[in-house]
């Protein structure tokens, strides 16, 4: 009997009866080192059967029927999931997902990058965004919110947002920031060449019209905290995940 997974949750999301969500650390899965143990990625040379089993545990924990994920490319392509897939699906080239379909879990795979999760309680539509520094530079957050507005009439002022564990300002050193990051990111340095990407995401959310009071974030740094997979710390490692979706049945 597998131990119950205990995902990290956000109070603002937990108060929405129509919503399932959770962020799962590296514990409680079946993969061996260096993927120990709850690795969700098929792209890191872990045994596919083990990854499948890990993902099943996550589905069970959240009560979702299927998981939609992406072979993430640090791009800015946003996919709307309009129907429930018959089985779990991983979509190539996609870094953000939006869906109002009950029972569909939108899964972002991470090892230092942020997941930025969104929920519009008025339109009952959820989104999940893979946001590494390249996603921050392209502002995939604004792109995703624009698609929510176009496709679901979401008003940004209604959105609840949450930023997952990720590379913290303590560890986000960008020695080539003059080439890699635009000038308007430079004020987000906490000390020379170290950047606060959570603050950048907050700013990008607020610029689209999300209310500051509706933005939640953790202070967990994935590099500092060994409970999370970290590419910067371990290089060859697994991926943890953040999942959000509309719940199957409201009780
Ligand atoms: Zn750190």
Half-sphere exposure of 189 (CA within 13 A, CB side): 15
Neighbours of ion ligand 1 (CB under 5 A): 168, 170-171, 221, 223-224
Is the confidence at residue 250, as pLDDT, over 60? Answer: no
Cα–Cα distance, 170 to 221 (Å, whole number): 8
**Edge-to-edge strand ranges of the sheet holding 89-92:** 19-24, 240-246, 104-110, 66-71, 89-92
Ligand 1 centroid, distance to 233 Cα (angstroms): 10
Q: Does domain 11-167+212-246 have CATH number 3.60.140.10?
A: yes
Residues 118, 127: contact at Cβ < 8 Å?
Answer: yes
> If you measure from the C-alpha of residue 123 to the centroid of ligand 1, how many angstroms do you get, rounded to a whole number?
36
Q: What is the mean pLDDT of residues 181-209?
A: 98
Whole-number Å distance between alpha carbons of 124 and 246: 7
Q: Give the start-to-end residue ranges of the domains of the chain.
A: 11-167+212-246
Beta bridge partners of 242: 23, 108
pTM higher than 0.95, yes or no? yes
Give the pLDDT confidence of 201-242 residue by residue, as tens digits.
999 999 999 999 999 999 999 999 999 999 999 999 999 999
């Amino acid at each position: 009997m597998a131990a119950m997974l205990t995902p990290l949750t956000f109070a603002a999301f937990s108060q929405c009866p129509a919503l399932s969500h959770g962020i799962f650390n590296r514990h409680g899965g079946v993969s061996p080192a260096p993927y120990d143990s709850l690795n969700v990625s098929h792209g890191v040379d872990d045994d596919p059967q083990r990854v499948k089993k890990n993902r099943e545990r996550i589905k069970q924990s959240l009560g979702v029927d299927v998981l939609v994920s992406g072979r993430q490319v640090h791009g800015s392509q946003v996919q709307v999931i309009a129907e429930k897939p018959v089985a779990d699906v991983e979509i190539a080239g996609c870094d953000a997902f939006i869906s109002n379909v009950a029972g569909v879990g939108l899964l972002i795979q991470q090892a230092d990058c942020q997941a930025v999760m969104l929920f519009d309680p008025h339109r009952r539509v959820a989104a999940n965004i893979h946001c590494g520094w390249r996603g921050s530079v392209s502002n995939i957050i604004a792109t995703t919110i624009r698609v929510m507005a176009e496709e679901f009439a979401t008003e940004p002022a209604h959105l609840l947002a949450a930023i997952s564990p990720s590379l913290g300002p303590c560890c986000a050193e960008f020695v080539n920031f003059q080439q890699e990051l635009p000038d308007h990111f430079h004020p987000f340095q906490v000390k020379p060449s170290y950047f606060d990407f959570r603050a950048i995401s907050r700013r990008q959310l607020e610029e689209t019209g999300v209310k500051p009071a509706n933005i939640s974030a953790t202070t967990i740094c994935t590099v500092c905290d060994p409970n999370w997979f970290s590419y910067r710390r371990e290089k060859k490692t697994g991926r943890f995940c953040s999942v959000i979706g509309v719940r199957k049945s409201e009780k």
